[in-house]
Amino acid sequence: MDIDREIQNIKERNQKVEADKAWEQSWTRRSFIALITYAAAAIWLVWIGEKDAFLKALIPAGAYVFSTLTLPPLKKWWAKN
């Protein structure tokens, strides 16, 4: 019975790990973080009186999305070397 319980625990853990991995790679998560980044940057830029604040706020949000797109290929390259 002990072995059966251990196998069940491993299966439950694997399901949780897979769900966490799916969340980390999801476009929902990426979009939400990009939106929050844009909002924070826009608020800050407006607050300091920057010209074209809403346009300039796209830069950090876009950089975040770009970085998430480049990480998987970079990770594959790193794993090979």
Write down the domain spans for the chain: 2-80
Length of the chain: 81
Rounded CA separation 11/16 (Å): 9
Q: Is there a contact between 57 and 45 (Cβ–Cβ < 8 Å)?
A: yes
**Span 51-57, mean pLDDT?**
97
pTM for this prediction: 0.74
Please identify which residue in the block is written with the tokens 């826009």: 42
pLDDT in tens, 57-73: 999 999 999 988 888 88
Rounded Cα–Cα distance for residues 11 and 3 (Å): 12
Task: Fill in the DSSP letter of residue 26.
Answer: -
Stretch 11-26: mean pLDDT, rounded? Answer: 92
**Where is 44: in which H helix or E strand?**
helix 27-47
